[in-house]
Structures are given as C-alpha cells and as structure tokens.
Amino acid sequence: MYRRKKYTKTSLDGATETIETEERNSSGLLEFCAAIIAITLSILTATLILQSVNHASSTRGLDKPINQSEKHLSKDPRNEN
C-alpha cells in the first residue's frame, strides 16, 4: 500500500515550494503469506528429492540389509563345472 503526501513549504522570503512524498507501507499479512509459500515450496522440494533418492536406492537394491546373503553370491562358479 502506498501513501502519498503533498504539502507546500513556504520560506521566510515568501517563496513557496510544493513537496510530494510517497511512502510504502508494507502489509504484515502479505509478508506472512509470502513466508508461508516459501516454506511450503521448500518442504515440497525436499520431499520430492527424498522420494527420488529413496526410489533410486530401492531399484539398486540398497534397501536390503547389508548382511543378507544372496543365493548367487553364495555359489562358487568354479564348482559348477
């Protein structure tokens, strides 16, 4: 919201001068809404990044326990012949 002030200034010798000023009065509600939107966007971005990392790790098999033995790992390829 803007506030304009217009007034005249008269000096001692009788000369008048018109002065106009503009003041910007920022609304607290507008700043609050902008902060809420920024926080929401950052949370949404972080959620999407974490979901993509979780999906990538599950497709590579990184979500399995480290000490879990796999059948193909326990086989010795030299003994199959």
Q: pLDDT by residue (tens digit) across 24-66? A: 776 788 889 999 999 999 999 999 998 887 766 666 555 565 5
Tell me the pTM: 0.41
Q: In angstroms, rounded to a whole number, what is the distance separating the alpha carbons of residues 6 and 19? A: 6
In 3D space, the residue among 17, 19, 16, 23 whose CA is nearest the CA of residue 7 turns out to be 19
**How many Cα atoms occupy the beta-carbon half-sphere of 56 within 13 Å?**
6
Give me the amino acid identity at 67.
N
pLDDT at 45: 95
Q: In angstroms, rounded to a whole number, what is the distance separating the alpha carbons of residues 45 and 29? A: 24
pLDDT at 58: 62
pLDDT at 70: 55
pLDDT at 42: 96
